[in-house]
Structure 1
């Protein structure tokens, strides 16, 4: 990214516990288009409401047109904020409804933790995406919170204290 003609990098120091989560919805059947299109405005309202801990959100990422596969990327201050939102309305109801009836779409999410670690789940996805495209998969057990905590480091010893650009190479 260029800023005023200069290259810039983010300073992560204020966000030691940040979690970035990608979510996707992939149409599996024709009636899934209706489900996907109906869900878009709901997701947009949820992000625009800026729930506690949501730092930034980007919706309407198009992964493919055929089959229709869209997603979003949300940046959370920390895992507790993400979990609190996931357990609150409207997300809690969305997830409950999806588990009852996928309405012709598959869903997935992948999360990346500033403290290290990654976590993912894929529901009703017939063709692998993300990690599922190259890693062995196992049946999901336990809660999302338990899976996140199992894959995130508990300390920041490996993270740099400062986020300085690399020194220029001489030569």
Structure 2
């Protein structure tokens, strides 16, 4: 029997963004964070925010628990608007204050070219960091739009770079030390 071979015609989606997301549990208390965020995320994508074309849940591994999603967005603008809106903005701000025994990452692939990635508290490494060197997400590498397009975000970031690193220095380091965690 012949294989029915097809392909996706993406001509109507020139600015398509495919994003892979994951949250990995590092410590037992991380299970609570993962379970607590899960239902909220499900509700948020079920509401079909403007620009979200499709969402698929992914289990990257059962041990350690590492769950996530693959999402297809019409364009970076709609993805950025959603990430800066409620309730996503609240979850992200809370995570950046305290990862709760988990790590989070995303990798985004753009139809017009470019790949973006960020890894927060992700040890051991995942995704692109399995083969590419890592650098701190600072300066022009702080936000997705800056990393991929070289331009400042059109919608204000959830947390500014200066406030994030100042808070980290206050919470976890002596003032003369630079934190090693990236955003």
Instruction: Give the alignment's TM-score, normalised by structure 1.
Output: 0.82
Structure 1 residue 99 displacement after superposition: 0.7
Distance across 2 between alignment mates of 1:113 and 1:86: 17
Deviation readout 1:99-149 (Å, 9 max, x if unpaired): 111111000000000001100000001101000111000000232322232
- The Cα of 1:64 is off from its aligned counterpart by 1.0
Aligned match of 1:168: none
Alpha-carbon offset, residue 66 of structure 1 = 1.3
Provide the C-alpha distance between the structure 2 equivalents of 1:92 and 1:120, rounded to a whole number of angstroms.
18
TM-align CA RMSD: 1.3
Matched, 1:95 2:92: yes
Give the aligned partner of residue 20 of structure 1: 18
Q: Structure 1 CA distance, aligned partners of 2:136 and 2:17? A: 23
- Once residues 52 and 96 of structure 2 are traced to their aligned partners in structure 1, the CA distance between those partners, rounded to angstroms, is 25
1:114 maps to 2:118 = no
Q: What SS is found at the alignment partner of 1:107? A: strand
Alignment-derived partner of residue 34 in structure 1: 32
User: By how many angstroms is 1:150 displaced?
Assistant: 3.4
- Provide TM-score, normalisation by structure 2: 0.77
Residue 67 (structure 1) aligns with? 64
Bigger CA radius of gyration: 1
Aligned to 1:52: 50
| Secondary structure of 1:14 counterpart | coil
Unaligned runs of at least 5 residues, structure 2: 152-183
Determine which of 136, 142, 147 is the counterpart of 2:133.
Answer: 136
Aligned mates of 1:50, 1:130 — CA distance in 2: 27
**How far off is 1:91 after superposition?**
1.1
Count of matched residue positions in the alignment of Structure 1 and Structure 2: 146
Which of residues 119, 124, 133 is equivalent to 2:121?
124
